């Protein structure tokens, strides 16, 4: 057995004495710090020493928080971007619809102005489709017998003559365009009053003015309007503008081609004129008696045989 042997029981102050001592010491330190700010310097020194440790301990939480904020911000930005794109598309569609409505309103205003010229006897119709035959220059409108239409009526838009009603149904009608082959319209030159007859060229979408003498005064850019002598198209409606004038001395007639003023392929609404023009449309001043006298055989008088 070793000569030196530690005592089995350690002797010293009792736990109660230690608790009392340290409690009194803590109270004294708190009183000193509260009344005299004795530990202010110690507190600052300890905070300087502990600050790096606090930063190191808070680093994982700060990193995770920043990563979470980054992804949250990214997701928020993506949602806002998608919402902004959706709003842009909606506004673009609304803008296009507004432009369409504005253009249609302007065309309807022009149709209303044209309607006022003819005693408000026009009926506005919507173009619902083109003719099924691609070689025919015809359109289908949504007005027919139920709205008082009949074959032979003139059809116009805000720019000029579109064509003529050639087939009629109960709720729709077929309009043959003035550019249809062999579709004729009596016209006159605005500049000098020269009268002629325009004929459609068919699929080319232009009109031809045949039987004009080479010496006739017709120039490129002249405007053709309806002369009104046929009783179908009222006088003064724009028909076409002259695009080419070929005057070859080897031929008796000039070759004149025009571009229609009306845009049947571009407009959605047209107007059907119910009657030629108005009650002032010029009528023949030849009386029925004069007509009968002209038709009576020569040398025979009424009442004699």
Domain tally, the chain: 2
Of 117, 141, 161, the residue that ends a domain is 117
Q: Which of 30, 47, 48, 46 is nearest to 38 (CA)?
A: 30
pLDDT at residue number 305: 42
State in Å, rounded, how far the first CA of the chain is from the last one: 186
pLDDT means over runs of 10, the chain (305 residues)? 56 81 85 76 78 80 78 83 82 69 67 57 84 76 90 86 91 91 90 91 85 91 89 86 90 92 78 63 53 53 46
Residues 89 and 128 in one domain: no
Of 82, 98, 117, the residue that ends a domain is 117
The model's pTM? 0.56
pLDDT at residue number 51: 79
Question: Any idea what DSSP says for residue 189?
Answer: E
Residues 175 and 103 in one domain: no
- At 162 the three-state DSSP class reads strand
State the residue for tokens 């047209």. Answer: 270
Task: Retrieve residue 35's tokens.
Answer: 């009344």
CB 183 within 8 A of CB 177: yes
Whether 289 is covered by a domain: the verdict is: no
Task: Retrieve residue 134's tokens.
Answer: 């691609």
User: Residue by residue, what is the 3-state secondary structure of 6-71?
Assistant: CCCCCCCCCHHHHHHHHHHHHHHHHHHHHHHCCCHHHHHHHHHHHHHHHHHHHHHHHHHHHHHHHH
pLDDT at residue number 304: 45
Q: For the beta carbon of residue 144, count every other beta carbon within 10 angstroms.
A: 20
CA 124 to chain centre: 20
Residues 148 and 243 in one domain: yes
Residues 31 and 169 in one domain: no
Q: Which domain holds residue 249?
A: 122-273
């Amino acid at each position: 057995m070793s000569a030196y042997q530690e005592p089995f029981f350690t002797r010293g102050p009792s736990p109660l004495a230690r608790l009392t001592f340290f409690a009194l010491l803590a109270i004294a330190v708190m009183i000193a710090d509260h009344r005299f700010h004795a530990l202010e310097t110690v507190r600052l020194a300890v905070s300087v020493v502990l600050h790096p440790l606090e930063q190191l301990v808070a680093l994982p939480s700060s990193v995770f928080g920043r990563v979470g904020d980054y992804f949250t911000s990214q997701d928020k930005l993506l949602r806002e971007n998608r919402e902004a794109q959706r709003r842009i598309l909606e506004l673009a569609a609304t803008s296009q619809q507004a432009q369409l409505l504005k253009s249609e309103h302007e065309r309807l205003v022009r149709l209303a102005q044209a309607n006022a010229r003819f005693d408000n006897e026009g009926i506005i119709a919507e173009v619902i489709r083109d003719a099924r035959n691609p070689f025919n220059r015809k359109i289908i409108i949504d007005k027919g017998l139920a709205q008082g239409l009949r074959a032979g009526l003139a059809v116009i838009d805000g720019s000029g003559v579109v064509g003529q009603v050639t087939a009629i149904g109960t709720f729709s009608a077929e309009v043959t365009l003035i550019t249809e082959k062999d579709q004729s319209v009596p016209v006159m030159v605005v500049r000098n009053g020269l009268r002629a007859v325009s004929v459609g060229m068919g699929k080319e979408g232009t009109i031809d003015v045949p039987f004009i003498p080479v010496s006739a005064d017709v120039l490129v850019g002249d405007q053709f309007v309806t002369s009104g002598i046929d009783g179908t198209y009222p006088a003064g409606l724009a028909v076409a503008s002259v695009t080419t004038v070929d005057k070859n001395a080897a031929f008796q007639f000039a070759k004149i081609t025009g571009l229609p003023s009306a845009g049947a392929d571009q407009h959605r609404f047209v107007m059907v004129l119910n009657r030629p023009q108005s009650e002032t449309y010029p009528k023949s001043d030849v009386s029925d008696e004069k007509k009968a006298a002209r038709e009576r055989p020569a040398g025979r008088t009424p009442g004699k045989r």
